[in-house]
Chains A and B, each alone.
Chain A
């Protein structure tokens, strides 16, 4: 009873921390437009803009009045699910995000799945065998993949698979299920290469640490079955750092997909963000930033939680 109580308290504490971080994310996305040097409204309309037009835009961006009331009206709008409208074409920001976010999430989840399938066997095998030459090669190769920017890997991929062989389209997208894989497989492959380098490295080092634990020796002496041994004695105690890393990496991948979507012209949220930045479409940037921040905060909360459930030695 006592133990269960402690667990809930820990989880609630961690959740409250996630909420407070989410709050600051919101404040940050609110503040950014207001602390920018110069007036955003006149910056967007250009030097020759009429005063009246600037006033209208300032009103549209809710830039009038004192900061405190501005903030409360911003929060109020947020609670009602209103993120404003795009300055470019008047479409609701929420609608833009609802249209583009699923593609990005689909891309990220697919890459994560592929990366797990690739990296768990590799990381476990190399960590378990610990053979010198193998470890050396593995470290060198993953170091190169990790240091290479994803857009360059993508360009090399395009050069080989699109230009030379015409196996992957360079742009375009189809929303229906089996067809979209045709457009997505190369971006997913690029993401998978980078992600599985990170994951397998972390898994490798935690497996080689776990290997030296006493309970592993006990398992060998007790003659535990092979499959049970690898899952309960090796993999499960080693997975916690990987899960924490994975939740962090999924946040980072939001950034990485911004570039990948631009390279492959995929209509995801990342390309929408870049487009909005280039046209100074403040409400869209603000909305997407808020979504990204909340998503990463949630992911890190979930990651910490799963890591704790897998291995109670982890601090949350």
Chain B
């Protein structure tokens, strides 16, 4: 009896706006993550030469072999951890920094300080993320670690802008006034009342930013500036197979599909959540 009501509840939840998008997005993401977990454990090693180079997809090697005879299937799923992991760090660190900076700015009343910091934020945001990342890589040197550092140093500005706008709105709400009247200390008001309201906004942005960061990380690797061969990473695998696309399309196409799969699943989730939020 209880089980049935549970499944009914789930069905009702899906039937609400955006439900299909959220569920299919989560399902796609989970599939990718589970394969990304299992394949490195049980499949071929990503750097092992298992057979004849350029062997086309077959029953034994579903995604074929690359120019060195490595199994594309296991390389694609070995890369899940790298790609999603780097993108995850590249989103959560700026999210935390930007939210805190934004709240701080939202509470600050010094006009000159605000206008200086505000135009620094605008200055960073003036550059497209990919451009500023490429430029900064000149000085830090190529590599995945530098990419995470650069994303943390630059991407916070976008979050800070959102967080500041929201913090200004929140501080004018009646419940903040009420909390002040009740004599709560300032840190408690910030931590318990302002931060949760602001972070809901920045976290929502973080989800869509995740898509952008995944493609930026893969794009940088494609240019040879982030992950470098022989590392298993989608962008660098695509760059690797580029020269052989005439006779071995599978080296390029399968990592590309994995990349799209990750980004599309996230974008379904984002789309579904925003439709649910708007109720259409």
Chain A contacts to B: CB under 8 angstroms: 17, 20-25, 27-29, 32-33, 35-37, 40, 43, 139, 143-144, 146-149, 151-152, 155-156, 158-159, 163, 251-252, 254-256, 258-259, 262-263, 273-274, 276-278, 280, 282, 285, 288-289, 292-293, 296-297, 300
Contact = CB atoms under 8 A, between A and B. Distances in A.
Q: Which applies to chain B's interface (DSSP): helix, strand, loop or mixed?
A: helix
Contacts of A293: 123, 126-127
Contact of B223 (A146, A156, A259, A297): A259
A37 B120 CA distance: 21
Contact of A255 (B130, B139, B245): B130
Contact of B128 (A43, A252, A282): A252
List 10 tightest A-B contacts by C-beta distance, closest first: A24-B123, A36-B139, A255-B130, A147-B263, A255-B128, A152-B256, A149-B215, A147-B267, A147-B264, A21-B122
A296 B128 contact: yes
26 contacts: A17-B119, A20-B122, A24-B119, A24-B120, A24-B126, A25-B123, A25-B127, A32-B135, A40-B139, A143-B271, A144-B260, A147-B211, A148-B260, A149-B215, A149-B218, A152-B259, A152-B260, A251-B128, A254-B131, A255-B129, A263-B242, A277-B135, A278-B225, A280-B138, A289-B132, A293-B126
B38 interface: no
Nearest to B125: A21
A210 to B, nearest CB: 16
Contact of B126 (A25, A155, A255, A288): A25
Contacts of B134: 258, 273-274, 277
A263 B252 CA distance: 13
Contacts of A28: 123-124, 127
Contacts of A40: 139
Contacts of A285: 135, 138
A82 B21 CA distance: 53
B238 interface: yes
Contacts of B224: 278
Contacts of B223: 258-259, 262, 274
A249 B122 CA distance: 16
Interface of B: 119-120, 122-124, 126-132, 134-142, 211, 215, 218-219, 222-225, 235, 238, 242, 245-246, 249, 252-253, 256, 259-260, 263-264, 266-268, 271
Contact of A33 (B129, B139, B215, B225): B139
Contacts of B267: 143-144, 146-147
B65 to A, nearest CB: 18
A127 to B, nearest CB: 13
B279 to A, nearest CB: 15
A41 to B, nearest CB: 12
Contact of A155 (B131, B137, B225, B256): B256
B9 to A, nearest CB: 25
A229 B119 CA distance: 41
Contacts of B126: 21-22, 24-25, 251, 293, 296-297, 300
Contacts of B266: 147
Given A152-B260, A277-B225, A292-B128, 9 more contacts: A28-B124, A144-B260, A147-B264, A151-B219, A151-B238, A155-B245, A155-B253, A251-B128, A255-B128
Nearest to A262: B223
A148 to B, nearest CB: 5
Nearest to A256: B130
B238 A152 contact: yes
Contacts of A254: 128, 131
Q: From B137, B223, B264, name the one whose CB has the most chain A CB atoms within 10 angstroms.
A: B223
A289 B135 contact: yes
Contact of B259 (A27, A149, A255, A256): A149
A263 B211 CA distance: 21
Contacts of A146: 267
A154 to B, nearest CB: 10
Given A159-B245, A255-B128, A27 B123 contact: yes
| Best-surrounded residue of A21, A43, A152, A276 (most CB of chain B within 10 A) | A152
A97 to B, nearest CB: 14
A29 B131 CA distance: 12
Contacts of A155: 238, 242, 245, 252-253, 256
Contacts of A292: 127-128, 131
Given A24-B120, A32-B136, A258 B131 contact: yes
Contacts of B219: 149, 151, 259
A143 B136 CA distance: 30
Contacts of B246: 163
